[in-house]
Chains A and B, each alone.
Chain A
């Protein structure tokens, strides 16, 4: 039986994960916590072989930061990032902090238990890209990396000038990216673009 730590701040989801693990017959729960920042302490007390790590956890503690800390301290512990956010950067962030796998909740695809099994077998389970969603007439996969960088600042409410300063480019360049995105999506206002991107969870800043 592999020992599993669950980090999930939403009670129903947490208990559903607990049920899944109990019924699996091959995993057992060492601890089940709602704040990612307590994961290190939990592993110090009861070492886990696998951690199911939510990204946005209680008190706005980041599951990515907690994963980075855990992997530095317990390199043999496997971590599966479990998220319902479709942020473009989450795949990169997960890799950067050393997460072994990532699983997107509620978007179909592979079952979590299968991802856990493969991760414990030494595989790294990463989709090629975040699940695709539509943004107006465009698909989320049609946005370039530079456009996403601009969007990330736009949803923070920055002006053209502030975006240009932050990215080290000209305001014309920022405007060109925005107008390219408006043309792809068919939207007429950048505010609408930002609002849709936020509501589709394609950009979730702060984690």
Chain B
């Protein structure tokens, strides 16, 4: 419009050129009245609002609302298989008149590619998730394979023992020659199915192991119901029980556990000698810290007046489990 006059073009030629543009264009004057709107913009606005475009206010309100036809996806309008992005800019014409220029750009190809990318990313995320699951399962699968192989071996042993027994009986030899040890071993291995790992839970195992090195674990409060948080607390107790026996000559480890909301806190002390100097975190304590911090928790070591370790661990599941040690 403005450039057209400058170069001596007819208004109708400018209009025609604008109408042939695949982009929607509309100019509003300073009062917000439409001064020029091309065919594409007219069609778009009519499709989206069901009305002709009259003013800048109407145009802006269209951008804020849901369309009559088509849908929106964020800042884009989706209409008849095409995606449109609207933008606004101030332009200054000859003589300093300021106009608002509204543009509607066809971004269908870009939108389609973005959609494809989103789909690919979702598929990749799913694949990554499946791979991570497979990776996590491989240890369990291996255990099952080992059990199966073991059972097959035991069955072979039983078969051999059966043959030997049969031979013995056929030859009328004394039954004292029977290899009862092999039978007993096979029966013991097969009894109970063999799928389980430890017969006791981690806390019970720790209490027994600590008693073995002369440290009684005295707990005040129950472990959290969240198994990961509970095991981290058991890990902290194990580290402290080992250190208490080794460095402080302690015979008792005191563990005060409080589970409150989404965190479990434990304060660990012992009845051994107080540290003569400030505790430096060596291999055991620093790897404990790494594990606790990796779970989003915190750990504090204090050397005065006595050694104490305070750990705080976030819990995913509320509540506690009953333990009495």
Chain A residues at the B interface, C-beta cutoff of 8 Å = 9-13, 15-16, 19, 33-35, 37-38, 40-42, 44-46, 56, 58-60, 65, 69, 72, 84-85, 105-106, 154-159, 191, 194-195, 198-199, 201, 203-205
Query: Closest Cβ of chain A: how far from B242's Cβ, in Å?
Result: 6
* Pair B210/A41 contact, Cβ less than 8 Å: yes
Query: Closest Cβ of chain A: how far from B16's Cβ, in Å?
Result: 49
Smallest CB gap from B227: residue in A: A59
A16-B198 Cα distance, complex, nearest whole Å: 15
Query: Closest Cβ of chain A: how far from B173's Cβ, in Å?
Result: 23
Q: Mark B125-166, 1 if CB is under 8 A from A, else 0.
A: 001110110110011011101110111010000000000000
CB neighbours of A15 from chain B (8 A): 188-189
Smallest CB gap from B138: residue in A: A198
CB neighbours of B151 from chain A (8 A): 12
Query: Closest Cβ of chain A: how far from B197's Cβ, in Å?
Result: 4
Known contacts being A15-B188, A44-B213, A69-B283, is A34 close to B142, with CB within 8 Å? no
* Pair A195/B134 contact, Cβ less than 8 Å: yes
Query: Closest Cβ of chain B: how far from A85's Cβ, in Å?
Result: 7
A84-B212 Cα distance, complex, nearest whole Å: 30
* Pair B146/A10 contact, Cβ less than 8 Å: yes
Known contacts being A40-B242, A58-B198, is A45 close to B135, with CB within 8 Å? no
* Pair B147/A10 contact, Cβ less than 8 Å: yes
Query: Closest Cβ of chain B: how far from A21's Cβ, in Å?
Result: 12
A195-B147 Cα distance, complex, nearest whole Å: 23
Which one of B60-68, B201-209, B261-269, B298-306 contacts A? B201-209
Residue from B128, B142, B198 within 8 A of A157 (CB atoms) = B128
Q: Mark B11-46, 1 if CB is under 8 A from A, else 0.
A: 000000000000000000000000000000000000
Interface of B is mostly: helix
* Pair A84/B146 contact, Cβ less than 8 Å: yes
* Pair A35/B147 contact, Cβ less than 8 Å: no
CB neighbours of A157 from chain B (8 A): 127-129, 131-132
Residue from A16, A44, A72, A195 within 8 A of B131 (CB atoms) = A195
Q: List 23 A-B contacts (CB under 8 A).
A: A9-B197, A9-B198, A10-B194, A11-B194, A11-B196, A11-B197, A12-B189, A13-B147, A15-B189, A34-B205, A35-B198, A37-B238, A38-B205, A45-B212, A69-B283, A72-B283, A85-B142, A155-B134, A156-B132, A156-B135, A157-B131, A198-B135, A204-B139
Does B192 reach chain A (CB closer than 8 Å)?
A: yes
CB neighbours of A106 from chain B (8 A): 146, 149
* Pair B198/A45 contact, Cβ less than 8 Å: no
CB neighbours of B122 from chain A (8 A): none
CB neighbours of A35 from chain B (8 A): 198, 202, 205
CB neighbours of A56 from chain B (8 A): 139, 142
Q: Which 3 A-B residue pairings sit nearest by Cβ, starting from the closest?
A: A157-B128, A45-B212, A12-B194
A191-B240 Cα distance, complex, nearest whole Å: 44
Query: Closest Cβ of chain B: how far from A63's Cβ, in Å?
Result: 12
Query: Closest Cβ of chain B: how far from A68's Cβ, in Å?
Result: 8
* Pair B231/A59 contact, Cβ less than 8 Å: yes
A26-B261 Cα distance, complex, nearest whole Å: 55
Known contacts being A56-B139, A106-B149, is A42 close to B134, with CB within 8 Å? no
Does B241 reach chain A (CB closer than 8 Å)?
A: yes
Q: Mark B253-284, 1 if CB is under 8 A from A, else 0.
A: 00000000000000000000000000000011
Query: Closest Cβ of chain B: how far from A162's Cβ, in Å?
Result: 10
| With A41-B210, A44-B246, A106-B149 already in contact, 7 other A-B pairs whose C-beta atoms are closer than 8 Å | A12-B146, A12-B151, A16-B150, A44-B213, A69-B283, A157-B131, A199-B138
Does B287 reach chain A (CB closer than 8 Å)?
A: yes
CB neighbours of B238 from chain A (8 A): 37-38, 41
* Pair A38/B206 contact, Cβ less than 8 Å: yes
* Pair B202/A205 contact, Cβ less than 8 Å: no
Known contacts being A10-B146, A38-B238, A156-B135, is A191 close to B127, with CB within 8 Å? yes
A118-B146 Cα distance, complex, nearest whole Å: 25
